[in-house]
């Protein structure tokens, strides 16, 4: 599927004076809301959406700064604000009961939402939490060299400007278990979405989320330790960034959880191994 075909499936919704791209598909009474990862977009789910939509009404939006959503330069790009946007979107869509699925960057947006949920600050009921390959335990993550550069306050902007598609393609292929599972066309479509709305100009600002994972560690890991939401941890065995140790640590500390492993798969399981990943999510 091309990026333009994906764009034609969704719509722009105004949230806090920002245009947010939203996919809303499926007619089930049950609702699945998805928070995507970095530096990609809701497009990560194009292979699994048809099957998920047989079981749920599926709502995926592009965070501010990603995909087809607005990419303002004068914006904090804090994970706190990304949580505000997600919650406001769900409120405008009048959602009451949801399963919340998050991957990568989205897992930290999810933990901020769980923190507020634990304090009875939300008017939405989270029936289940599904966490996939995210570096919430940032102290255990194996960050790529380019991630370390981009999050730097001094050199991040210049690294963002100099990053080209060759560098991007190489870095994405390295975080697959089987790099032959991602086609050049997919890489082209993902790169086009990063560049959409002058997105390369803000990519270093997006990368500050890594610093926030340290700063808000106690708030967000504390939220997981205290939550009563039934949680499913769906993790791959060969993610070079969000390594197995993170899943094992989450399994130890989240009160009511089950851990499901996806073998021989890297950081983007919904793209690399979509059928098996979907089975685990739905199981």
Query: Encoding tokens for residue 79?
Result: 């994970």
N- to C-terminal Cα separation, the chain: 26
H or E stretch at 24: strand 18-25
Q: How large a percentage of the chain has pLDDT more than 70? A: 93
What is the CATH T-level fold of the domain 3-282, as seen in this structure?
Answer: Rossmann fold (3.40.50)
**Confidence at residue 142, expressed as pLDDT on a 0 to 100 scale:** 82
pLDDT greater at residue 161 or residue 220? 220
Tens of pLDDT, residue by residue over 173-225, are 999 999 999 999 999 999 999 999 999 889 888 888 999 999 999 999 999 99
Tens of pLDDT, residue by residue over 118-155, are 999 999 999 999 999 999 999 998 866 556 555 556 65
Q: Map out the domains of the chain as residue ranges.
A: 3-282
Is 159's pLDDT higher than 90?
no
Core vs surface per residue 24-62: b (16+ CB within 10 A) or e: bebeeeebbbbbbbbbbbbbbbbbbbeebbeebbbbbbb
Q: Is 242 exposed, middle or buried (0-12, 13-18, 19+ CB in 10 A)?
A: buried
Rounded to whole angstroms, the Cα distance separating 160 from 38 reads 14
Q: How confident is the model at residue 167 (pLDDT cuts 50, 70, 90)?
A: confident
Query: Encoding tokens for residue 120?
Result: 């009875």
CB 14 within 8 A of CB 88: no
**Confidence at residue 155, expressed as pLDDT on a 0 to 100 scale:** 57
Query: Encoding tokens for residue 95?
Result: 């959602």
């Amino acid at each position: 599927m091309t990026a333009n075909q994906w764009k034609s499936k969704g719509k722009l919704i105004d949230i806090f004076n920002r245009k947010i791209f939203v996919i809303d598909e499926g007619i089930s009474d049950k609702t699945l809301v998805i928070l995507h990862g970095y530096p990609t977009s809701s497009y990560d789910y194009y292979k699994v959406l048809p099957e998920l939509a047989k079981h749920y009404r599926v709502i995926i939006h592009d965070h501010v700064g990603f995909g087809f959503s607005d990419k303002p330069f004068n914006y904090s790009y804090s994970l706190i604000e990304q949580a505000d946007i997600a919650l406001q979107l769900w409120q405008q869509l009048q959602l009451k009961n949801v399963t919340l699925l998050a991957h990568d960057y989205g897992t930290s947006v999810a933990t901020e939402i769980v923190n507020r949920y634990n304090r009875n600050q939300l008017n939405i009921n989270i029936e289940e939490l599904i966490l996939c390959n995210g570096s919430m335990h940032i102290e255990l993550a194996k960050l790529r060299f380019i991630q370390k550069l981009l999050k730097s306050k001094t050199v991040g902007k210049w690294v963002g400007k100099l990053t080209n598609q060759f560098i991007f393609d190489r870095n994405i292929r390295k975080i697959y278990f089987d790099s032959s599972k991602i086609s050049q066309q997919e890489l082209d479509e993902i790169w086009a979405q990063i560049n959409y709305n002058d997105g390369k100009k803000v990519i270093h600002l997006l990368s500050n989320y890594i610093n926030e994972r340290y700063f808000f560690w106690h708030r967000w890991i504390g939220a997981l330790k205290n939550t009563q939401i039934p949680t499913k941890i769906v993790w791959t065995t060969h993610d070079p960034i969000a390594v197995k140790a993170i899943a094992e640590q989450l399994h130890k500390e989240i009160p009511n959880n089950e851990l499901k492993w996806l073998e021989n798969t890297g950081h983007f399981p919904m793209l690399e191994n979509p059928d098996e990943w979907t089975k685990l999510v739905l199981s």
